[in-house]
Amino acid sequence: MTYIFGFVLLLGILIFIHELGHFLLAKAVGVRVETFSIGMGTKIIKFKHGETEYALSLIPLGGYVKLTGQDPREEVPKEMEHRSFRHKSLLQRTAVVLAGPLFNAALTVILFVVLYSSGAPSQAPVLNRVLEGSISYQQGLRSGDWVESLDVNGQNIRVLEQSDLGKAITANVGQELTLNIKRESSWTKDAENMQFKISPITGMARDPNLGVFKEQGILPGVEEQGRAPLVQVAANSWAANRQIPDGFWIESIETQIGSFTQSFNVRTFSELQNLWSYIAEQAPNATEGQIILRGQSTQISEGEESAETQQPVTESYTMAWTRADDKMPSSISDAGFSSSELVVIQVMDGTPAAKLGLAKGDEIRQLNGANIQSFQSFKSRLQELASAGNSIEISWLRGGESMSASVQPEKVSTTDPVTETEKQQFQIGAAFLALPAPPMTYKLKADSFGHAIQLGWDKSVDLTVSMAQSFYYLATGKISHKTLGGPILIGKIAGDSVKQGWEAFVRMMAFISLNLFILNLLPIPVLDGGHLLLFAVEAVRRKPLSLRIVEYWTTAGFLVLMGLIAVVFFNDLSRLGLFNYFKS
């Protein structure tokens, strides 16, 4: 019921606003409006006020405003020509058609203004991961640093969201930046304000809005995703003796050590390391106590080089001690926990990894003599070396012993989890527990109403540019048509957002309203953009196209639209797993 309510409310508002734009502009230029309908097909509710019939129709997948003289085949009585759509000037007709999409765009801006006025959930402008030993690390930057602003060429650029940080870095590649950092402890809330100088470089990274990998500005050694608080447990260690499983994602820690009783949420592995040390410092002489870990287990997906979390099921493990010589170790590594990111958890038979001699428990250390510190850098470096045809020597650690051997990765076809495109990439056939941490979010509240308007406008413009680019990437195959969704997906998204609260619902409405703005401007017959294209041709020719050409144009547009609807419905049903029943 929540999904139906969310779907009807979302589309109902968006359709009403779109058709209201056409309606008001038609009235403004003197065009007679015969029908104003929300929905298509059979009219469920209808009433007439003045010269216009208002209706609520059965199929909630659109709406329409019927204008006198809009259909070129319609005969308009001479006494009504001054109220006829087609007898209005080209500029007036263009305004009426353009008003619907523009009202959707205006709604998007208004919704974002509302969100920023009350506090919009946003991705914080933090450095999600700074690799040890990298240039950024040597300059003093650390994982979790919050970038409040940056100075370049005497100009101070305020940074409010992760997207702001990305744009500023890309715009200043090669320039020396001064990053104004706030370094805050997630649990003590103690904060330091610091400054560091760094010069961005050009690199490949995933676009946060589009999901495609493209060349953009990056800080050397800073990765766009944090490292998940996933742990492996050393045999016979303090943690292993307390039955903590391998591949456990720690989401929170609760302490019960004397008077020190508190709960802490954990987002990244670096937070986990720092939190463990902090807890140990609070009760250094405690001879008894317990720590409760809550989180979820992970599992390998067959044939993948990284693991996936299964259906989330929260699990709890209690680590207790009753003697001083068995108390909580001072560091997470002393407790027997280690990063699971570069530790092999499975080797597939017959793969280069199996021929190489890799085994479960081996920890990757180097590629061709260069240290590897993250799964992301391991994958990207492997692709780079294999694509160049170089011999690749992998070094790993096994039980304290360093080992190495040469390998030739195999090229396999994989599906990008974000863009759903097929791509060729090199793999060695080993699986790792390598999952990204969720992004850090916070509520971004505007300083004033004027600031909220500026933020709402900027967000709408940024998303419009990204959505327009997405059509280009769809056309060129960089984003798969499988990512397109229809009514079923919209209904699911609407229902999920209703469950999350009004802010999530309003944000989703803003996104879909902006989608409607762009989609309706596409030069496809039947859509508003198709009509605008005909008007452009008319402006060049200085007379309308013949009725026959317009009919061909409309028929072609109808077929294209039906094809698009078929694709999105197929994608929706595929997501539901309907077609799995037909697979052997």
Instruction: Say if residues 217 and 200 touch (Cβ distance below 8 Å).
Output: yes
Residue 473, classed as helix, strand or coil, is helix
Q: What is the DSSP-derived secondary structure letter of residue 260?
A: E
How many angstroms from the chain centroid is the CA of residue 354?
35
Phi, psi of 174 (to 5 degrees): 85, -10
In whole angstroms, give the CA distance from residue 87 to residue 27.
Answer: 14
Catalytic residue among 19, 223, 224, 271: 19
78-83: Cβ within 8 A, 24+ apart: 80/32, 82/30, 83/30, 83/31, 83/32
Q: What is the DSSP-derived secondary structure letter of residue 440?
A: P
Instruction: Say if residues 426 and 382 touch (Cβ distance below 8 Å).
Output: yes
Residue 191, classed as helix, strand or coil, is strand
Buried residues in 535-549 as b, exposed as e (16+ CB within 10 A) = beeeeeeeeeeeeee
Phi, psi of 161 (to 5 degrees): -135, 165
19 part of the active site: yes
Q: Which of 435, 450, 291, 453 is nearest to 376 (CA)?
A: 435
Q: How many helices (H) and strands (E) does the chain have?
A: 12, 27
Phi, psi of 187 (to 5 degrees): -110, -30
Phi, psi of 420 (to 5 degrees): 60, 25
In whole angstroms, give the CA distance from residue 540 to residue 530.
Answer: 16
Per-residue CA distances from 256 to 229, 241, 260 (Å): 21, 19, 6
Catalytic residues: 19
